[in-house]
Chain A
């Protein structure tokens, strides 16, 4: 008879307990978080299918496999959430500007639980992050995850968020999500997603997910999402897409972020920190290759 401390948890358990832990920390700190992806999908959008009796000869629907827990927080509360999590034993592995050019998510790790991606906005939503989060939170509800009440977006908004994510990961499970969440959805469900996409100004990324890019060719972010949806897109294509989508005043920040990300990538490839001279030499090589490729 034991109640053993469990340093190594099964992955799905570690993810569900991480969601619950973040919600408890957020509640204590008075911060609003929305739980997305992973077990939330099984508990909401896929709940009916997972509980249906399986007909003979058909395959048993499997729970979604997640390696991390994803939460969304308003940008003005994002730093406070990271600090609150650190006070409860979490460590910051990647800060917001260290993961991708979108600078949208920070990653925190825990000795026992799955790591958590804290999103301060979600790529594909072009409405300002603060009011977009307020809109999502206004329609949110609590559902039990690991039997603890966690706040989740409306099903329509969540379906949209998953499609926006699928748009930039079509070759890594995104296509299956589009089939599951869009192609198999009813006309009413699809219409509801389009309404949320309009309200959140997410029509370009939605178009990228559902293969309607021609309808958004006139939009500034068209090139970015055309690149992101293409399997095997390069860092250069991504950068060019970001630059095309950016406003003039955003370009210096974007270029600085790209250079820092590139330096970190080189650090990882070298297995140690790259000197400034080596780093600049790397950029010179990159620029030279880029120039040659345009000839």
Chain B
């Protein structure tokens, strides 16, 4: 069980014609492109999943232990940038 997150209410999300996902904390930004595994981790995180590492591992068909540390780093980074929001009562450290 990992910490749970939600989509911040003040976040704009837009997908480009080539499929690239862009997110921007409102109102000031800056806009950011979520590339590669960052997009997958972000999508799983804002779905409210309580098993983010497990679901990301399944998406990439790898063992959870092999990616757990990287996923936690990404989640901390997204949280700091305002791209995800810890759900109330959840430990997002």
Interface size for chain B: under 10, 10 to 19, 20 to 34, or 35 or more residues? 20 to 34
- The answer for the CA separation of A88 and B26 in the assembled complex, in Å, is 10
Majority DSSP secondary structure for residues of A touching B: mixed
B43-83 interface mask toward A, CB cutoff 8 Å, 1 = contact, 0 = none? Answer: 00000000000000000000000000010001001100101
Interface segment out of the listed A20-28, A162-170, A249-257: A20-28
A88-127 interface mask toward B, CB cutoff 8 Å, 1 = contact, 0 = none? Answer: 1100000000000000000000001100000000000000
Q: Determine whether B33 belongs to the interface, using a CB cutoff of 8 Å to chain A.
A: yes
Chain A stretch 1-28: residues in CB contact (< 8 A) with chain B: 1-7, 9-10, 12-13, 16-17, 20-21, 24-25, 28
Q: Are A24 and B13 in contact (CB under 8 A)?
A: no
**B38 contacts across to A, CB distance below 8 A:** 1-3
**B3 contacts across to A, CB distance below 8 A:** none
**A146 contacts across to B, CB distance below 8 A:** 12-14, 24
Chain A stretch 117-173: residues in CB contact (< 8 A) with chain B: 146-148
Q: Are B10 and A12 in contact (CB under 8 A)?
A: no
Chain B stretch 1-39: residues in CB contact (< 8 A) with chain A: 10-18, 20, 22-24, 26-38
Q: Are A10 and B35 in contact (CB under 8 A)?
A: no
Q: Contact partner of A3 among B12, B14, B18, B78, CB < 8 A?
A: B78
**A113 contacts across to B, CB distance below 8 A:** 29, 31
- The answer for the CA separation of A24 and B26 in the assembled complex, in Å, is 6
Question: What would be 9 A-B contacts, judged by CB atoms less than 8 Å apart?
Answer: A1-B37, A2-B38, A3-B35, A5-B31, A7-B30, A13-B14, A13-B31, A17-B22, A112-B30
- List the 9 closest A-B pairs by CB distance, nearest first: A24-B26, A20-B12, A24-B27, A146-B12, A147-B13, A1-B37, A10-B16, A146-B14, A6-B33
Q: Which residues of A does B touch, CB under 8 Å? A: 1-7, 9-10, 12-13, 16-17, 20-21, 24-25, 28, 88-89, 112-113, 146-148
